[in-house]
Every structure is written in structure tokens, then in C-alpha cells.
Amino acid sequence: MSTVSSLDSVGYCGLVCAICRRSDDGCPGCRSGGGNIHCFQRTCCEGKRLDGCWQCIDFPCNQGYFAADEWRGLCLACVQGIRLYGVERFISRARRRFGDMVAYEDFRFKDAGAIRQML
């Protein structure tokens, strides 16, 4: 399992909440009560007692963000990145690539391959 401080920075879907521009708007991230309480990835991981989708044997499923054309590529690439690098290294890579503030909505409708190249 990853350290609590690292996990607090990453959503179950793989997005790094710590660098999301919504954190400036007061969103604490899904692990701290922010975000959509009905998020499939959140409820599924909590139900399976997983740190995130990167630990799931069913990844990638076709549910929640992974089923939504808008977010599929971004979330798939983030989870794949965490599987490849681990949580801490993935957070570091995301910070190096995107800085301390990213508008994830700018990455909507991109495929996972394009996002992986950015990371």
C-alpha cells in the first residue's frame, strides 16, 4: 500500500487531486469528502478496499469515468501511469509535466495514448 499522504493526493480514478485547479476552489479531493459521492470509481474501490483502480484485477472496466468518452483517456492514462511508476513517482511526474495547477477539463476527449505521451 502507498503512504497516506500520497494517497490523499490521488483520486481512485488516478487523477492527482493535489494539482487540480478545483483544489483552489476548495475541493479537498475525493478521499477527503470532495468530488462526486456517487462516483463509480470511488464506490467500487471503497467497496473492494482498494487504494485505487490501479490495484483492481478488473481494470480497465467500462464503468464510470472509464465508460465516459469525455474522461476515459485521461483516467486510463493516469491509472496506467500509477501502475507503471507507483503512486509517488507518478505524482512527481505529473507535477513536473503540468506544474502545481492543472485544468483537467483541458484533457477531455483525448485518448489514453496522447495523455501517456504528455506524462
CA contacts within 13 A on the Cβ side of 20 = 22
**pTM, entire model:** 0.86
The single-letter DSSP state of residue 17 is: G
pLDDT, tens digit (0-9, with 9 covering 90-100), for 23-64: 667 677 888 888 888 899 999 999 999 999 999 999 999 999
pLDDT tens per residue, range 59-94: 999 999 999 999 999 999 999 999 999 999 999 999
